[in-house]
Amino acid sequence: MQLTREDLLSLEQYSEQRDAFRQKVMAHKKNRRLPLGEHLSLYFEDKLTMQYQIQEVLKAEKVFDAEGIEEELAAYNPLIPNGSNWKVTLMVEYKDAEERAQALTQLIGIERKTWLQVAGFDKIYAIANEDLERETDAKTSAVHFLRYELSDEMITAAKQGVNISAGVEHENYTHEQIPVAENFRGSLIADLA
**Mean pLDDT value of segment 93-103:** 94
Q: What is the pLDDT of residue 80?
A: 95
| pLDDT of the residue at 137 | 83
Residues 38 and 76 in one domain: no
Query: What band does 132 get if pLDDT is binned at 50, 70 and 90?
Result: low
Do 139 and 177 lie in a common domain?
yes
Co-location of 13 and 103 in the same domain? no
Cut 0.85: pTM above it? yes
Number of domains present in the structure of the chain:
2
The mean pLDDT of the chain is 93
Same domain, 146 and 183: yes
The identity of residue 94, as a single letter, is: Y
55 and 93 together in one domain:
no
Same structural domain, 63 and 100: no
pLDDT for position 79: 93
Do both 118 and 23 map to the same domain?
Answer: no
Same domain, 56 and 69: yes
Please give the helix or strand (H or E) that residue 11 lies within, else none. helix 11-29
Q: What are the strands, taking DSSP E only, across 64-137?
A: 85-92, 114-118, 124-125, 127-128
Domain span holding position 137: 32-45+83-193
User: Which CATH number belongs to the domain containing residue 180 in this structure?
Assistant: 2.60.40
Judgement on whether residues 114 and 191 belong to the same structural domain of the protein: yes
